Amino acid sequence: MPALLLAAALVAGPAVAQDAPSKGKIKVKRKDKDKTEAPATAAPGPGRQAPVPVDHAMTYASGINQADLTKHLTVLASDAYEGRETGEKGQKMAADYIANRFKELGLVGPVQNSDNPYLQHFTMERSTWPGTATLKVGSQSYQWLKDFYAYGNSPFEQATTVQPVFVGYGIEEGGYNDYAGLDVKGKDLVVLMGEPQKDGKPVLSKDGNPTKWGNDYRAKSALANQKGARSVFFVNFNPKDDFGKTTARMAPYLSRPSISFMDKKDARAATFFVSPAVGYKLLGTTEAALRKYETAAGQTTTGKPASSFKPASFTVTAPKKRENFTTENVLGFLEGSDKKDEILVVSAHYDHIGIIGGEVHNGADDDGSGTVSVLEMAEAFTQAKKDGHGPRRSILFLTVTGEEKGLLGSEYYTDHPIFPLERTIADLNIDMVGRTDKEHEGKGDYVYVIGSDKLSSELHTIVENANKQYGPIDLDYRFNDPGDPNRFYYRSDHYNFAKHKIPVAFFFNGVHPDYHGAGDEVDKIEFAKMEKRARLVFYSAWELANRDNRIVVDSNKP
């Protein structure tokens, strides 16, 4: 996804050892093990001052610098890596680059029974729509990529007759419940896009802006999935939206493969989108009757409208072409000292979306920026250990594949952990930290922090304190709001750790015009901001790895 940074000298640029190398890699030649004080000198007396405390976190953070971030990102986000699509040549190249870098740093490859101990291989299934799908209502037949299209899995490999259930807007919130009195387990649903409105404003909104229900289809699809639906057919009757143009824009993406686990049946409800003309036919209604329903829905927040529609049965055939392939997460392990059995995970996804319509989508920000930040943090911590100031807890530097396909690499790791999850104290996840979003243009340095308080109040405090001590930059929590319609908390790899009650903090710069576009290139990365953001994660990791007590899990916020 789903970057932030700023100048090294401004964040960490304090006094360090005078014999430090000039290229930014700080080598401390002290042999003391104390993390907070310099070696003892003659006792203070008249005319003498006490030893100056040494902040080792600041010393090694200064090794995370723009030059090295640029060096690694220029490679990983180059055209030669072909957009790092999961399972493809460029992703394999990136995996090798990261694994070799971990090896160079002296990290341990912790994967047993692998041809490369830095690589966690697993088998996936790649499926594509061959373009032969058909949909027929009565005597009228409709065409794939003209009248309808679909995402994800398909339960309609053979011609299937469907008797759908209409569930209005597909919303369940407070007193408004489109599912009231309905059992939709195993059923196929017809759902309206958008949300109930009155006088042009969403009735379920507190501030007049679209809620998660009106923002896009995902919240509705997730709810339908929870209800056990087999499929959802979304209909968009908004006259401002042109279904034909939307379909044409989506066609290059829909021709690309989707990915799922070999050993796990995809239980998610299949997601279809149909044109208004097909929607009227499915619901057996007219535009006038539909507008009347929309008006009635906007008049109540205590239940769905009394009126409804009786959908017509239809026949759908939507086969998919399937093949198996392997992909891999990349892991580098740094063993701690006296608390080495406890593991801190620092993660980012290194995959992107590949080549679309002949254009390479290099994903410099998404998530090349997070990946190279992990590489730099790994170097800083390994240097600290070489100098006798290594972390007390162990650290797993985890770069995962398949995030763009549905957080698949992190899901595989948390389902097949190399180190027991009960020993994992937290995950610090970095996904897009190299750009500035529209909301912060012309403003000071910032980073969105998401999820830090949802499972552990101590983790939230650690991030806050690290920022105050070594920054500060603006910590923006707007996307941490459980009502955030973007649902970013659920859209990057930290979420698979949070599902297992492992505290997480997600660092993110927000989306920008090049998000998932061919313009997400290295020359648009703001390396000064990226440096500062990466250092904030490092400082948070330093405290987590070296504090006396493991952070508590004392929250359960949505």
305 and 406 part of one domain: no
379 and 479 part of one domain: yes
Is the pLDDT at 41 greater than 60? The verdict is no
* Location of structure tokens 């340095």: 445
Is the pLDDT at 204 greater than 70? The verdict is yes
Is the pLDDT at 449 greater than 90? The verdict is yes
* 386-419: pLDDT as tens digits: 999 999 999 999 999 999 999 999 999 999 999 9
Is the pLDDT at 184 greater than 60? The verdict is yes
119 and 260 part of one domain: no
| Order of strands, sheet of 140-143, starting from the edge strand that comes earlier in the sequence | 140-143, 134-137, 314-317, 160-162
Concatenate the DSSP letters of all residues of 249-268 into one string. Answer: HHHHHHTSPEEEETTS---S
Contacts of residue 48, Cβ cutoff 8 Å, sequence gap at least 6: 42
Helix axes 527-546, 370-386, angle to 10 degrees: 50
Q: What average pLDDT does this structure show over 479-498?
A: 94
Q: Which of 319, 350, 369 is the last residue of a domain?
A: 319
97 and 151 part of one domain: no
Cα gap 43→51, rounded to integer Å: 9
342 and 467 part of one domain: yes
Residue 25 in domain: no
287 and 182 part of one domain: yes
What is the percentage of the chain residues whose pLDDT exceeds 90? Answer: 79
Number of folded domains in the chain?
Answer: 2
359 and 496 part of one domain: yes
Q: Which of 319, 352, 369 is the last residue of a domain?
A: 319
Mean pLDDT of the residues in the chain: 90
Q: pTM of this prediction? A: 0.80
Predicted confidence at residue 240, as pLDDT, reads: 84
* 452-470: pLDDT as tens digits: 999 999 999 999 999 999 9
Question: CA angle, 392 as apex, 452 and 54 as ends, to 5°?
Answer: 90
What is the percentage of the chain residues whose pLDDT exceeds 70? Answer: 90
Predicted confidence at residue 311, as pLDDT, reads: 95
208 and 294 part of one domain: yes
Residue 36 in domain: no
How many residues in the chain? 558
Local confidence band at 306 (pLDDT 50, 70, 90 cut-offs): low
Domain boundaries, position 284: 134-319
Q: Which of 276, 298, 319 is the last residue of a domain?
A: 319
* 67-88: pLDDT as tens digits: 999 999 999 999 999 999 999 9
* Location of structure tokens 């279904």: 243
For residue 179, what is the DSSP state? T
* Location of structure tokens 């399937």: 322
Local confidence band at 532 (pLDDT 50, 70, 90 cut-offs): very high
264 and 301 part of one domain: yes
The residues with which 156 forms a beta bridge, in sequence order, are: none
Is the pLDDT at 42 greater than 60? The verdict is no
Domain at 492, CATH number: 3.40.630.10
Predicted confidence at residue 152, as pLDDT, reads: 83
Residue 413 in domain: yes
377 and 260 part of one domain: no
339 and 250 part of one domain: no
Predicted confidence at residue 368, as pLDDT, reads: 98
116 and 161 part of one domain: no
